[in-house]
Chain A
Amino acid sequence: MKPRHKRFAFIGLGLVVLGIATVLVLNAFQSNLVFFFTPTQVVSGEAPKGRSFRIGGMVEDGSLVREKDGLTVHFIVTDTAKRLPVTYKGILPDLFKEGKGAVAQGQLGNDGTFVASEVLAKHDENYMPPEAAEAMAKAKASGAQQSKSLVVPQGTKDSL
């Protein structure tokens, strides 16, 4: 083995060791790297108690209720398995919609309601013109196969 082969082997080996170490570290910190908890995790008690955390999921269709003051809103965040009621007082982001993803920061109240201090809209990875979205919604409503040429159908994880 020539010296330069040795040096390349050393660099390669170093990168492999470093990669393994990184994987182990990231696995160990898995729970700290999560930006939000899903309603299922909250219900099963995985979310931290007594301090602020974030929940994420889909805003359930038809669950958005606005109080008379115009600022306080109630809605339900769901991951299709479990549902979590949320109360928030403040201005919602423009993209906040029923049936779309949202992330809320706050604390879990004693009555099981999540009291949010901040609500963020989570955008998905689909980009299309309004006409295409309309056509897709229509196709879906009539139970027809959605057009594959426009967009690839969303996976289960993506719908969050």
Chain B
Amino acid sequence: MIWSKYSAPQAFYPLAGRLIPWFAAVAIILMVVGLYMGFFVAPTDFQQGESYRIIFVHVPAAWMSMFLYVVMAIWAGVGMGLNARLSFMMAQAIAPTGAMFTFLALLTGAMWGKPTWGAWWVWDARLTSELILLFQYAGVMLLRTSIDDLRRADRSSAVFALVGVVNVPIIYYSVQWWNTLHQGASVSMATGSKMAATMLMAMLIMTIAFWMYSIAVILARVRCVMVERESLPTWDDKPAVIHEAVEAR
């Protein structure tokens, strides 16, 4: 098995097509299980009552927003280093999903903040840095579309993405470094979990579900990006057809 052959868009296109249904199916199953556990199995919190249940969406979404940014920056860096087309396409495909999760984290956070803290929004370090992350995603996407030359667009948005990666550790550690209204991490590698077991389980299932969802959506989007960039005349899954189309140009 030679994996490197899949670095060519012509080979990756059909592979991605075959993988999408599997990831999508697992994502749907896990989301149903995770939400059921979150809403019906997990116990009520001793302080917040039912409003805490937003964490089953909020925390996985916030994790994904940071994680996807790092993955996008890595693809951008690989693209810069190797001049690989597929890497830039992956970076381009990740940005909207990352932005969606960032927005979701901010929205659910605001919905939780009102009943719990007494405010929809406060300018503390955690919330502000997460908002900046949303602007970074928007910047990466805008920069790409604002430059007509594809190579220059790829490279400038890759630089933007790489520079912005410094914000990710700031978001993650903001609650430790500074006094913030946002509480510290309930789940961390260093100190373990500060949640009841069923709550934690539901949250982890939702996290994996969001991972699977992200992979499925990003693969689907990268296929669109390929078709768009290579100006393929067909949506056919057969690699031979794509070959012909590329050669014919």
Contacts and interface: CB of A to CB of B under 8 A. Distances in A.
Do A and B make up one complex? Answer: yes
Interface of A: 4, 7-8, 11, 14-15, 18-19, 22, 26, 30, 33-38, 56, 92-97, 100, 103, 118-134, 150-152, 155, 157-158
Contacts of A96: 118
A111 to B, nearest CB: 25
Interface string B148-183: 000000000000001101100010000001111101
A129 B125 contact: no
A16 B248 CA distance: 44
Contact of A123 (B44, B183, B193): B183
What is the predominant secondary structure among interface residues of chain B facing chain A? loop
A118 B165 CA distance: 35
A123 B47 contact: yes
Contacts of B181: 35-36, 56, 103, 120, 122
A88 to B, nearest CB: 11
Interface stretch (B22-30, B86-94, B184-192): B184-192
Contacts, number: 127
A8 B81 contact: yes
A81 B231 CA distance: 68
B179 A56 contact: yes
Contact of A22 (B55, B81, B166, B186): B166
Interface of B: 43-48, 52, 55, 77, 80-83, 115-119, 122-125, 162-163, 165-166, 170, 177-181, 183-186, 191-196, 199
A35 B45 contact: no
Contacts of B162: 11, 14-15
A127 B117 contact: no
Contacts of A38: 179
A91 to B, nearest CB: 8
Given A7-B81, A152-B191, A123 B117 contact: yes
A56 B124 CA distance: 13
A127 B186 contact: yes
Contact of B45 (A56, A97, A129, A158): A129
A130 B43 CA distance: 8
Contact of A121 (B117, B165, B191): B117
